[in-house]
């Protein structure tokens, strides 16, 4: 096969694989993993019923691939939004907006798909957990910075998990044509946490001032 034709064939197969991943993720969320058939997925992308198995060995492998692809895409977007921002409070604001964008602006179905991971074997779940951990490490590092600087009382894991729970739940009630824009939702979510940062920062400044006055006396 000529090199040019081989390259075009490879590009076509990669595109078809992406179409399958997006269609499968959407259907798994809408109908549930168990209720979604390979025929459903094939029909969604204009394939014959057995064609998905050319790209994936099983429906479980398709679920795992869809979850990992979504997590990795979300991670790249998160990094692009937060890289270079020195102030951790501002970085957290940008991360919240990026996360909501991953959830609600594109076709990322991963937070909803996580509930379907029970259909996977232990090895597949471990692979997904590793990618999920990398995504969450960025958040934990920012929260740790805030705590270390005295701008957050604690950066214990429950805070991160509660923050994710709040943000991910927005997928259940957000409407693109609703009264609130994503920017407004992101600002509201950040303000649930960030006002405390301002209060703590002011307390810290007051304490320094008091200490200096005591020393001067």
Measured distance CA(90)–CA(98) in Å, rounded: 12
Which pLDDT value is given to residue 166? 92
φ/ψ (deg, to 5) at 147: -70, -40
Cβ neighbors of 156 (< 8 A, separation 6 or more) are none
CB atoms within 10 A of CB 130: 11
Q: Which residue has the tokens 């204009």?
A: 46
Measured distance CA(156)–CA(61) in Å, rounded: 34
Evaluate whether 44 touches 23 at the Cβ level (below 8 Å).
Answer: yes
Based on the number of CB atoms within 10 Å of its own CB, is 113 exposed (0-12), middle (13-18) or buried (19 or more)? buried
pLDDT in single tens digits along all 217 residues of the chain? 555 544 544 455 667 788 888 888 888 888 888 999 888 988 888 877 766 666 788 889 989 988 898 888 889 999 999 999 999 999 999 999 999 998 888 666 666 677 788 889 999 999 999 999 999 999 999 999 999 988 888 899 999 999 999 998 898 899 989 999 999 999 999 888 876 554 444 444 444 444 444 444 4
Which pLDDT value is given to residue 99? 93
Which pLDDT value is given to residue 130? 93
Measured distance CA(65)–CA(60) in Å, rounded: 9
Sign of CA dihedral 166, 169, 173, 177: positive
Query: What crossing angle do the helices spanning 88-104 and 182-216 adopt, rounded to 10°?
Result: 170
Q: What is the pTM of this model?
A: 0.76
């Amino acid at each position: 096969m000529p090199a040019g034709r081989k390259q075009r064939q490879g590009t076509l197969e990669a595109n078809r694989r992406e179409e399958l991943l997006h269609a499968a993720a959407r259907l798994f969320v809408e109908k549930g993993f168990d209720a979604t058939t390979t025929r459903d997925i094939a029909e969604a992308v204009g394939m014959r019923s057995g064609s998905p198995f050319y790209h994936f060995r099983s429906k479980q492998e398709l679920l795992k691939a869809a979850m990992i692809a979504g997590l990795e895409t979300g991670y790249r977007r998160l990094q692009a939004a937060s890289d270079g921002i020195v102030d951790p409070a501002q970085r957290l604001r940008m991360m919240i907006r990026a996360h909501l964008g991953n959830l609600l602006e594109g076709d990322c179905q991963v937070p909803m798909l996580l509930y379907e991971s029970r259909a996977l074997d232990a090895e597949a779940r471990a692979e997904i957990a590793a990618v999920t951990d990398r995504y969450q490490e960025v958040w934990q590092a920012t929260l740790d910075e805030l705590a270390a600087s005295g701008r957050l009382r604690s950066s214990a894991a429950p805070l991160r998990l509660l923050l994710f729970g709040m943000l991910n739940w927005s997928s259940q009630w957000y409407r693109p044509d609703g009264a609130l824009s994503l920017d407004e939702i992101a600002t509201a979510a950040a303000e649930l946490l960030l006002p405390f940062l301002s209060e703590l920062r002011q307390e810290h400044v007051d304490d320094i001032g008091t200490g200096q006055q005591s020393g001067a006396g």
